[in-house]
Chains A and B, each alone.
Chain A
């Protein structure tokens, strides 16, 4: 670990300015990742057991996810695509 520098008040203010808050929506979405992960695992498990659902996902992932009642944001679809490649 780097040794801690000594900063004067002006430097402290300047450094604090470098860290504005991230947009609230981004933070909330990241905080919801564990719930999203559980949902993705559920979709993958269903795809493994249900051949018809698997075919729907392969044909149009976004539409199949939405039709099954799951939220289908681009982020969810991209992560799901990656997980399904392993199925």
Chain B
């Protein structure tokens, strides 16, 4: 996966019809769309799956119409948000006893997910083995032992590696933050 390319570069490659680009696009944003469905709007698994597929189907069809390639992440977030709300309203119509949708709560989660995506991008930049270790520990909830066995690292050193990797991600984020600040 080409992690160095920006979202805009990836969108541009998708538009150009590069076969690998779409796979990378889905890979890059799948966690985000999934998290909006499942955490932001707490959709049941089968509803989340429908919305997830619909989001990527519409993204595939409408990517050429995107005004700014840099804005793909908020665009996907809005698309996912809208489809989640539609699904919840449909469910509420069929099953009126379902809990009411709290859009402001969902928006708070979306804001956190946006931060999480920035952290994820920094982790991608830091690269392996940190990416692998932190992903397995935090995102896949794997134990020190499982990570150690898989990566052939002594389990007793995993905690210190996690700590060092977190420092690297923080440095990467601080660097980005400084770079994005007006001088």
Contact = CB atoms under 8 A, between A and B. Distances in A.
Contacts, number: 110
A69 to B, nearest CB: 22
A33 B60 contact: yes
A21 B112 contact: no
B31 A21 contact: yes
Given A6-B173, A33-B60, A15 B112 contact: yes
A9 B115 contact: no
A19 B113 CA distance: 8
Nearest to B22: A34
B22 A18 contact: no
Contacts of B35: 18-20
Contacts of A13: 134, 138, 166
Contacts of B26: 27, 30-31
Interface in B1-57: 19, 22-23, 26-27, 30-35, 39, 49-50, 52-53, 56-57
Interface residues of A, number: 30
B151 to A, nearest CB: 17
A4 B105 CA distance: 22
A68 interface: no
A33 B181 contact: no
Contact of B139 (A8, A9, A17, A29): A17
A20 B170 CA distance: 20
Interface of A: 1-9, 12-13, 15-23, 26-27, 29-31, 33-34, 37, 75, 79
Interface of B: 19, 22-23, 26-27, 30-35, 39, 49-50, 52-53, 56-57, 60-61, 70, 112-120, 123, 134-135, 138-141, 163, 166-167, 169-170, 173-174, 176-177, 180-181
Given A12-B173, A16-B135, 17 more contacts: A1-B180, A2-B114, A4-B180, A9-B167, A15-B112, A16-B116, A16-B134, A18-B112, A18-B113, A19-B31, A19-B32, A19-B116, A20-B139, A22-B33, A30-B57, A33-B60, A75-B57
